[in-house]
Amino acid sequence: MKQNDVLIRGEHLTKVFGYGKQKTTAVEDVSFAFHEGEIISIVGESGSGKTTLAKMIMGLLKESSGSIEYMGKPRQLKRHGDRKRYWKNIQAIFQDPFSSFNLFYKVEKLLLDCIKLQGVNLTKEEQLRKMKEACSFVNLKFEELHNKYPFELSGGQMQRLMIARIFMLHPKLLIADEPTSMVDACSRSTILDMLLKLRDENNMTIIFITHDVGLAYYVSDTLYIMEQGKVVERGPAEEVILNPQHPYTQQLISDVPKIHSEWDLA
Amino acid sequence: MNSSFRILIKSPKFMFGACMLLAMIGLILIYPLFNRNDPLEMIALAYQPPDSKLLLGSDNFGRDLFLELIYGIRTSLQVGLIAGVFATVIGLVIGLASGYIGGMIDNLLTAITNIFIVIPSFVILILISVSIDSRSSFVTAVIIGITSWPWTARAVRAQTSSLRNRDHVNIAKISGYSTPRIILSEILPYIASYVVMAFVLQTASGILSEASISMLGLGPYNTISLGIIMNWALVFEAPVAGAWWAFIPAAISIAIITFSLYMMNTGMDEIFNPKIRS
Ligand SMILES: Nc1ncnc2c1ncn2[C@@H]1O[C@H](COP(=O)(O)OP(=O)(O)O)[C@@H](O)[C@H]1O
Ligand SMILES: [Mg+2]
């Protein structure tokens, strides 16, 4: 995996919110290199700056300092056109599926927007076929859903629709911010399997954000452990889990029961 | 939007206010069709008490007060609506810009808004009214509108800046939406019910402001409004003459209109706010 080209590289990224007394450094001096087809997990407890880092990578938050290189060139996001091109290849699933949907539009619109973003001209039938295909990839029935409003869906259905959206866009890089936080244990493994299937089919790079070291170990090649905005440990998943160097990593691992025994994900 | 309207019809408070207002509007639209007289025509002696011919008696010039009242309500409603539209549009634009763009522009616009909030708008209203020579009812309405937007701006800013960080806005961004489109489809629908409520309140307070400055003799020229009727009653000492019909009906009309608008607002508040909160 590591022999592949570096897709995106961050150097000394820092994000500071507010100023004066309310100043919080959410992300501090984080550097990374993510390769094509690699699955990376960013692990840390809530408030450690994972979402903030993800939004900087997405270009939704401006970094306070540091820089991001995409495909070997400094990233350009000044103009709307630049951003649109960037988001064709870099996509995300956000933490809270309930707030990811606009309550005023039907589910269908989310998927139609994906077709529009790709800028291809399709006939009505082709559009319909694509949306059906995406829904069946995540085990949903397009016929039952397309006319519904988001508040008529369950959390798991919302989360799976977000994955269907990624399936339609097949980006180079996917950032999945705690994609299983709002679903029950049963849907959890299904969702993880869908993400892994996306990687296998499209050689997608996946950044998987979680507070659960167990899940991270199960899905990823590389682990980044974050504590209070800093990356305290990084490396191949096996190495980090079996031989943790930093006390925070050791504590995270010891908090998980049965880390060395068989995984029971169901 | 359609469904919100259907829920609204079920609210007794909203319907009560709306029916009262519609009855009033019906009256001012229909009555002049039957009584085609000029409201400024002198047709009787001064301060004649109400009788079967003059429903609300006559004023100091011997004019038909009921007819004047009808035209007065019409002007007052127009002034209130125009003031409401101006206040709401200005407040909406400033609040959206401030809340959505954030940063320096937010700081600047918030500062301006706060300045307008701390200066009593009634003082500005009087100062502008005094300094403008030719005031039509439209000009008066615009002046009222541009002195009363800050509360709307402040509330819209607060809601917009919290909506801006929600993930559906982020999804819209990474789906390639332009900023105007995001504001139109991801922000406005969420604050629409609030903006309509603010508009109703601004209209009510616009009617009250017009009545207040007209009472002081600073209202529009060449027209009849509820405030102007009361101003005439005051200037020509109707209370001293015991001519209660020269000012009580106008005062009650103002009360009924603003009360019905407040009822509509309360009804909407009860329906929309739990929906926004959940
Ligand atoms: N928009 C914001 N304004 C101010 N502080 C923020 C903002 N977003 C996040 N933070 C702060 O940054 C820190 C990291 O938050 P976050 O990145 O959401 O962590 P995580 O996703 O790991 O739970 C927290 O202390 C949070 O309060
Ligand atoms: Mg988070």
Maximum Cα–Cα distance for chain B, whole Å? 75
Q: Token digits for A236? A: 């191949």
Q: Which domains does chain A have, with CATH numbers?
A: 6-265 (3.40.50.300)
From the list A159, A255, A199, the residue with the least C-alpha distance to A36 is A199
Interface test with B, best of A58, A60, A85, A152 (most B CBs within 10 A): A60
- The percentage of residues in chain B with a pLDDT greater than 70, rounded to a whole number, is 97
Residues 48..77 of A with a Cβ closer than 8 Å to B: which? Answer: 55, 58, 60
- Please give the distance, rounded to the nearest whole angstrom, from the Cα atom of residue A157 to the centre of ligand 1: 27
Q: Which residues in B lie closer than 8 A to residue A100 (C-beta atoms)? A: 167-168, 170-171
Token pair for residue B206? 């616009």
Q: What is the pLDDT of residues B178-203, one digit of tens each?
A: 999 999 999 999 999 899 999 999 99
Beta strand pairing call for A205-210 and A24-35:
unpaired
How far away, in angstroms, is A215 Cα from ligand 1 center?
Answer: 22
Q: Which residues of chain A have pLDDT under 70?
A: 1-4, 257-266
Identify which has the larger pLDDT, B39 or A235. Answer: A235
Residue whose C-alpha is closest to residue A95's, from A15, A213, A181, A199: A181
Minimal CA separation from A154 to chain B, in Å: 16
Confidence of residue B51 (pLDDT cuts 50, 70, 90): confident
Q: Residue A104: name the closest of B190, B271, B4, B166 by CA.
A: B190
What pLDDT is attached to residue A1?
A: 46
Atom number in ligand 1 closest to CA A45: 22
Q: At B219, is the pLDDT very low, low, confident or very high (cuts 50, 70, 90)?
A: confident
- Cβ within 8 Å, pair A58-B174: yes
pLDDT at B38: 86
Average pLDDT over residues B125-152: 88
A49 lines ligand 1 (CB under 6 A): yes
Average pLDDT over all residues of chain B? 89
In whole angstroms, what is the distance from residue A211 CA to residue A214 CA?
9
Instruction: Please report the pLDDT score of residue B1 as a whole number.
Output: 57
Classify residue B244 by its DSSP letter: G
**DSSP β-bridge partners for residue A69:** A9, A74
Q: Where are chain B's structural domains? A: 13-26+62-277
pLDDT in tens, B73-89: 999 999 999 999 999 99
Which chain B residues are closer than 8 Å to A87 by Cβ?
173-176
CATH of domain B13-26+62-277: 1.10.3720.10
Q: Which residues of A touch B186 (CB under 8 A)?
A: 102
Contact A102 B186 (CB under 8 A): yes
pLDDT at B256 over 90: yes
Whether the pLDDT of residue B5 is over 80: the answer is no
Q: What is the pLDDT of residue A3?
A: 52
A-B CB pairs within 8 A amount to 54
* pLDDT at residue A4, as a whole number: 66
